[in-house]
Each structure stands twice: as C-alpha cells, then as structure tokens.
Structure 1
Amino acid sequence: MSGAERVESWGVPWEEGHGYVQAVRRGDTIYLSGQVSHDGETLVAPAPLDDSGRVTDTANTGEQLRQVYANAAELLGRFGASLDDVVEEVIYAVDLDQIHASGGPVRKAAYGRPDPRVASTVIGASRLAFPELLVEVRFVARV
C-alpha cells in the first residue's frame, strides 16, 4: 500500500477506470479523494445538460453538496472518524455564486454547527469529472 495503513473505496466504475481509491489513512490523517454526488451506483441530483453537454441549470448545487457530505461522513465512519475530525476541505464548484448561496447552510448542517471548525477553500471549475456534476469536495481529517 505504499506506506498507507488502510484504504477505502466505493467500488464505482470510475475508481477502476481512473485508478484511485476514495480514502487513504496514513498515521493519524485520513485523506479523502474529491467526493461527488452519487449513491454508489448513479449520480444524485445531476445537473441538466444541453445538446452539447453543457450545464443549463446549477440549482441542484445544494442537493449535490448534501450528498457529498453524506458520502464523506460514510467514508470517514469506516475509519472510526466523522466530519468532526475534518480539518480541511477544498470545494470545487461549477457556479461560484450558487455555491456561495447554498453552500453555507448545507455545510453548517453537515458539520452540525453554525461555525464549522474546518479550513475551507472554494475554487471555481469550468467542469468536473462528469458533465452533470456541479460540486466536488476533497477532505483531510485528523484522528
């Protein structure tokens, strides 16, 4: 495992296709690959696309973000950790205005407090791994 103490995956096709795992624990640190809005089989709340494959509406950003945090919580739980152990997150969003409008309430609910104790960076992206994705979040947790 190249020094990794433990790894976890979802078993979704894109892991094998791209060649990666979803989470790696090394020492007291857990690194989560960018989490997207899926239920283990399909994308959750996919953005509508036009005929050329471009997003036509970003209103599902908040719903996708909720699923991202649920997925991150499940992965962390496999290591005996939780979102309370997250120290850093990087949010990649297709629509920065939409992530600023919906992200705060979703993040606060996910972390269970009005002032999440996590370093957070938001980065605009023209497109994510799948055209229907509006948001992806990478996490680092310490246990």
Structure 2
Amino acid sequence: MSLTPRRVVREGAFKNIIADGVQVGDTIYLSGQVSVDGEGRTLGASDIAVQVRQAYANVRSVLASFGASMADIVDETLFVTDIDGFLGQADALFALRAEMFGGDPQVSQTLVQVARLGSPDWLIEIKCIARTSAA
C-alpha cells in the first residue's frame, strides 16, 4: 500500500483499462491523449491537425477534472507516427498548439516518432505533466 495519497481520474473512453490521470501532491500525470471522442471513436483518421486539436481538447478535459488548466502544464511529450509529416506542417501545428494553450505555451517539450500508436488511425498521442496549487 502506497503512503502517498493519490487522486485518480477515470472518465475517458478507455476508463476501464487506464486512468486518464493521477495526481500526487501538486503534480498531475496525464496518460497519453489521442484523437478520440467520448465513445472512443477516432476523429480525423488521416488529418494530423484534427488529431492535434482533439488530443489537446482531451488533455484540457482531463486537467479540468483535477481543477487544473492548460496553463498548469509544465512538460509534454508528443508521440507521432510520421515525424517528417509533422515537421512539414510544424508552423500550422504549433500555431494550433498555441491556440489550444491560449497563447505561447511555456512548457518543456519532447517530440518522438514511434512505429505505431494504439490504433493504426492515430497519428499523435500527447502525454503531459502539470503542476497546480490545488492538492
């Protein structure tokens, strides 16, 4: 049994198999978010911009469940299946990212190419760590 109190949120489409996020103290660890709706249906199967928008919308939703916001994110990892395709649209995708954050995000970031995500239709998965004063 862990001595560290944890708050776990399980509300997303995959709540039966993974937690959407876990808060320990003032740190929130989000599971990777992808471009799915509440029923687990993929949105934008071949459109990275649609998938970026939906994945960040899911990030925002999970954070809200903890009483946090996009401004609380301090670190993010973007897993993509086609880094060249992503970087080829980087200006537009990073403008979309700034829109989703409500301004220029002040976070550390890692961009990684992977062979495949949980579904062959997923082009991106976003994993974040947030810090908040709400404990």
Q: CA deviation at 1:106?
A: 1.6
Answer whether contact 1:37 1:44 (CA < 8 A) is retained. Answer: yes
Normalised to the residue count of structure 2, the TM-score between the two structures is 0.86
Aligned mates of 2:86, 2:23 — CA distance in 1: 29
Runs of 4+ residues over 4 Å off in structure 1: none
1:45 is paired with a residue of what secondary structure? Answer: coil
Could you list the per-position Cα deviations for residues 13-41 of structure 1 after superposition, in whole angstroms to 9, with x for gaps in the alignment? x443xx42110000000000000001111
Normalised to the residue count of structure 1, the TM-score between the two structures is 0.82
Query: Structure 2: where are the runs of 5+ without partners?
Result: none
2:32 is paired with a residue of what secondary structure? Answer: strand
1:46 alignment counterpart = 45
- After superposition, residues 41-80 of structure 1 pair within 5 angstroms as 41=39, 42-47=41-46, 60-80=47-67
Aligned mates of 1:129, 1:106 — CA distance in 2: 23
Give the residue type in structure 2 aligned to 1:133.
W
- How high is the sequence identity, in percent, across the aligned residues? 39
Aligned mates of 1:68, 1:44 — CA distance in 2: 10
The partner residue of 1:127 within 108, 113, 116 is 116
Answer whether contact 2:12 2:20 (CA < 8 A) is retained. Answer: no
1:53 alignment counterpart = none
Query: Structure 1: where are the runs of 5+ without partners?
Result: 48-59
1:5 alignment counterpart = 6
Aligned mates of 2:111, 2:73 — CA distance in 1: 16
Answer whether contact 1:73 1:82 (CA < 8 A) is retained. Answer: yes
**RMSD value, Cα:** 1.6
